[in-house]
Amino acid sequence: MEDILKRGEAKGRPTGPANLGFFQSESGKQNADNVFVLAIHYDFKDQCKKFRNCDARDVKNLEATFGKNRNCNFRSLYRPTREILLHLLGNQEKLLRYFSSRDIPSVFVLFFLSHGNENGVIYTDYWSEQLNDFISFTTEDVFDSLKKLPGFEKSLKLVNFGPCRGNLDDAKFDRKKDYKDYENKNSCRIKSAPEMPNTVIVYSTVETTMANTSERGSWFVTILCDVLSQIREDKPLLLFLTSVQHKMHKASLAMMDLATNLPLGQTLEVKMFPLEEH
């Protein structure tokens, strides 16, 4: 387990406090000096038809944006098994050791980058002959693990899910079609709460919808990093995420589906749970 956890670990530690933001409460302003950023990623390199050619670019972009430019304590975890991943996320001692830190972070940013499906499924790139499918975990598995970190209760947990969330055949609206049998009941529905205060969950796309990629990486990571790098003044977190969503919509208008001549749509879905500070 320890050998696998060393893969992708950033060299060294930040030389000073992070420059990602600050908390505003009734008692005043406090900088978010200690920020953990963890990118969990799978590239499916042994699966030609499933290969995620955006993976390396995404991780490089995240490391530059958060680690180098914002001085966050950045780590990337490449191809962890389901068991190792969930154990790490639910073990406070191991997690702090992985980030070479004795202190609980003020902000814990997580990115999950892989293939996915409906109902919160996130695939690892380990194949199971018994299942005849890739071994997977779910968003609920992630929440169940994070709930086991008692010291992180007051930390802002910013959990980003980048995988596709399915593929709805009739997702493209056509005025000539009859939509009486149209079903998209899972879209934007909160199926389970993480039961953790100070948590913000960001999905790259809504339920039953594909996530897009380009030669620069996935839309989600690329646009989020672009907006963060271009910020010139303080913005509340929700306003920042709205800016990411707006830029993603503009990208959708620029990318046309050749088969239908309609935009390849993708939009962020954000869930915010009780926050003690802004």
Question: Looking at this protein, which amino acid is placed at residue 241?
Answer: L
Domain 2-12+33-167+187-272 has CATH 3.30.420.40: no
Q: Which of 83, 134, 139 is nearest to 112 (CA)?
A: 139
* Whole-number pLDDT of residue 250: 83
Contacts of 110 (CB under 8 A, 6+ apart): 37, 38, 40, 142, 157, 158, 159, 160
Neighbours of 115 (CB within 10 A): 20
| Eight-class DSSP state of 151 | G
Enclosing H/E stretch for 75: strand 73-78
Q: Where are the domains of the chain?
A: 2-12+33-167+187-272
Q: What is the dihedral of CA 189, 193, 198, 203, to 10 degrees?
A: -40
Q: What are phi and psi of 133, to 5 degrees?
A: -165, 170
Element (H, E) at 72: none
pLDDT at 1: 46
* C-alpha to C-alpha distance for 136 and 147, rounded to whole angstroms: 20
CA distance 33 to 26: 19
The length of the chain in residues reads 278
- Its pTM stands at 0.88
For residue 166, the model assigns a pLDDT of: 87
Tally of CB atoms within 10 A around 35: 26
Say what the pLDDT of residue 63 is.
98
Each residue's pLDDT expressed in tens, for the chain with a length of 278 residues: 444 455 445 455 667 888 999 998 888 899 998 999 999 999 999 888 899 999 999 999 999 999 999 999 999 999 999 999 999 999 999 999 999 999 999 999 999 999 999 889 999 999 999 999 999 999 999 999 999 999 999 999 999 999 999 876 544 455 566 656 655 555 555 566 678 889 999 999 988 888 998 888 999 999 999 999 999 889 999 999 999 999 988 877 666 555 555 556 788 999 998 888 88
